[in-house]
Amino acid sequence: MRSILREGRDWAIAPAPAHSLIDTIRSALGCSVPYATLLAQRGGENWASVIDPGTQSFHSPFLLHDMEHAVERLRQAFDRKEKIFIHGDFDADGLTGAAVLYRALRPLLPANSIKVEVGERAHGHGLSKPFVLRAIQEGFQLVITVDCGISNHAEIAELKRAGIDTIITDHHLPAESLPEAVAIVDPHRAEDSYPNPNLAGVGVAYKLVCAVYERLGHPAPMHLLDLVALGTVADLVPLSSNGESENRAIVREAFARIAKGEGCSLGLRALSEKLSVKPEKIRASDIGYLIAPKLNAANRAGDPKVAFLLLITEDADQAEYLAEILLDYNRDREIAQNDLIAQADEQIRADGMTPREDGILFLVGKYWNEGILGLVASSLADRFHVPAIVVSRGDRLSRGSCRSVGEFDMNACLRAHDDLLLQHGGHRSAAGFTVANEMLAALEERLLAYADTCRADVGAKRVDLADVELNLADVDMRLLTDLASLGPYGPGNPEPRFVVRDCSFSELKLVGNRRQHLKGKASQRGTPVPLIAFRMGKHLSLFEETKAGTLVCSVGFDDWRNDVQVQGHDLVVAA
């Protein structure tokens, strides 16, 4: 199905499951065909587990390789009353992971024997030389990394020479050789058989905490799940994959506790209130689009320590104050981001770049704000549907942030050119690097050539997937309640997209602060349903002219009208 509103994108409907399985589910639940189809698509014969993965989906932390060694080393630290230095990465995943470790270990240690650093963008991701120097000078005996460390061979070797042990908790892909740490807990290790390889950095840190508590005879610290959920959603790791749903179970359990007024940290509650996020209705999208960007704004346009302090504070006044600072940072971030996008657009026009023909977008700007590079790369990748690399050129070194599209593996791309790079790391879809300025031209030339050989991975068109056809007559509170049972939604467990044919639209009006949203009614064969189409106000006339169109939408709740509504995502020409 060809998109009318989004050039270069098509829609396809997911393959339908066997009718016999759909009938079995409908008979068991007395539900609608669309909901039964969704359960069959996402769970197959194990469809019942899709409704509620439950805490039984939490795997034993000791299934992670090296967990026994990590716990034993920590117990030695407790017995010897050693000083422990935690290093978390400066993004939302690392910040929440560091906060989980700090809040869980502090009650087990003497006063003033634990310290946390959350890194600085100026020093890049992972352990830095200044951190290593501080750990040595301040007499720490043990370092624990969060969301980093797997690539810090030199720094960890230096710590070892100084008599300082390191426990690595990370979730990034390791190289062939591993650092000289006393324990490396990373589900991506080749010898690891942990059932959930998609743990976020905070998830790995939480598993270490759970293992320690279990060995000490304490119950698992479920009160920290709000932070685990926050970092998990923010880092965009799959909530479900191939029937494995631990991440979804973690987020679901955290949301249930937050809704009941349990297990929500003071800082997260203060920030949520300022963003009008209601605890009893919190969703993954609230974290992804509202909360996490404010935490990340601290490392992009301010001081990440502010975000960390917000996550650990036990003082209500301090929580209010820190939340306000984050909102100020975010306003600065928005200004810087818009400015850098404008500069990037100007460079594309001035240089006559043709991203779709080149197969990749490579932009370099002198002293560009390094905290904004990833956001700009993401925007450009989405707009041009090619991998985008945005580089800030310094006096001697340049740092780049990369975002991928399609099946293009950005991490593999950088590995293929690591002879030119001083440092690199990341994931399949997002990565970063540091390069000497004299190598920039060669890097650009080779990346363009590499992208040319991977055009099939990028793809000529983006094909989005809708789940099932829907009749507007089936849109009611029962369907909405059923759909809520499939959440939380996110990577690996996307919010269901429905195709509604033969639609017309009425009572349309522009709403929102900048009148950018479209509100009205969608009707099908005499059945009207409230409609909201976010950021589609510019297509008002097209909706008005449509008499028998095909709408791609989701189903949600209108808080203002207290009613079920459909949320329009696209108008398509049905095949």
The domain that holds 6 is classified in CATH as: 2.40.50.460
In a domain? residue 521: yes
Q: Facing residues of 198 across strands?
A: none
Choosing from 321, 352, 368, the residue where a domain stops is 321
Q: In this structure, what are the phi and psi dihedrals at residue 91, rounded to the nearest 5 degrees? A: -90, 180
Written as tens digits, the pLDDT of the chain (575 aa) is 889 887 767 899 999 999 999 999 999 999 999 999 999 999 999 999 899 888 888 999 999 999 999 999 999 999 999 999 999 999 999 999 999 999 999 999 998 999 999 988 877 788 999 999 999 999 999 999 999 999 999 999 999 999 999 999 999 989 889 999 999 999 999 999 999 999 999 999 999 999 999 999 999 999 999 999 999 999 999 999 988 999 999 999 999 999 998 878 999 999 999 999 999 889 999 999 999 999 999 999 999 999 999 999 999 999 999 999 999 999 999 999 999 999 999 999 998 888 877 788 999 999 999 989 999 999 999 888 889 999 999 999 999 999 998 778 898 899 999 899 998 887 788 889 999 999 999 999 999 888 888 766 665 567 889 999 999 999 999 999 999 999 999 999 999 999 999 999 999 999 988 899 999 999 999 999 999 999 999 999 999 999 999 999 999 998 777 889 999 999 999 86
Give the pLDDT score at 90.
93
Statement to judge: residues 512 and 400 lie in one domain: no
Statement to judge: residues 368 and 314 lie in one domain: no
Task: Report the distance separating Cα 515 and Cα 505, nearest Å.
Answer: 18
In a domain? residue 24: no
Give the pLDDT score at 575.
67
In a domain? residue 386: yes
Statement to judge: residues 277 and 402 lie in one domain: no
Statement to judge: residues 364 and 277 lie in one domain: no
Statement to judge: residues 103 and 231 lie in one domain: yes
In a domain? residue 221: yes
Kind and range of the H or E run holding 462: strand 462-466
Asked if 180 and 202 touch (Cβ cutoff 8 Å), the reply is no
| Domain, as residue range, for 398 | 339-460
DSSP 374: H
What six digits make up the tokens of 574?
């049905």
DSSP 279: G
Statement to judge: residues 387 and 480 lie in one domain: no
In a domain? residue 310: yes
CATH number of the domain encompassing residue 354: 3.10.310.30
Give the pLDDT score at 459.
53
Asked if 414 and 433 touch (Cβ cutoff 8 Å), the reply is yes
Count how many domains the chain has.
3
CA 9-12-17 angle, 5° bins: 160
Choosing from 431, 460, 489, the residue where a domain stops is 460
Residue type, 298: A
Radius of gyration of the chain (CA): 25
In a domain? residue 222: yes
- pTM above threshold 0.75: yes
Choosing from 433, 460, 487, the residue where a domain stops is 460
In a domain? residue 536: yes
